[in-house]
Amino acid sequence: MKKIKNHIDELFKDIPRNKETEMVKQEIIQNLEEKVFYLMDQGKEQEDAINKAIVEFGDIEDLKKELGVKEPQKKNMAKLNLEFSIWGSGLIIVFFIFINLYYTPHTIWAIYPIFAILWWPLSMYFVWSRKKWSE
């Protein structure tokens, strides 16, 4: 039943260790082992019974809430994405202007890809503003 213990330890890796948590872990392991023995009495092989018990157990999201474990907050990357898109598109625009003026100075064609490139920071601005106002 080492597989069950390893599985439960993996599920509880983000939960701080304390007396209550250890008691809950031991209770879950005991219940899963009882389930395995029941399934083996029903005719399943030990490995199949262990896998079925683990699958039927599922995850521990509700248990984490009961134990008071808070989910880590996601960082708001919208501002960084906006800054990156401004700098990136600026460099690309300068590159197209250079190529246009160096190779074909009599024909101004760089405006067409520049227009397309400007959609990148514009879209990132709208994502950033939506996140800014929703907070």
Per-residue pLDDT of the chain (135 residues; tens, 9 = 90+): 788 888 888 887 877 788 888 888 888 888 888 888 888 898 888 888 888 888 888 777 777 776 666 666 667 788 899 999 999 999 999 999 999 999 999 999 999 999 999 999 999 999 999 888 876
What average pLDDT does the structure give for the chain? 86
- Position of tokens 């983000």? 14
Buried b or exposed e, range 112-126, using 16+ CB within 10 angstroms:
eebeebeebbeebee
State how far the Cα of 85 lies from the Cα of 33, in Å rounded to an integer: 54
Task: Please report, for the chain, the start and end positions of each structural domain, with discontinuous segments joined by +.
Answer: 2-67, 78-134
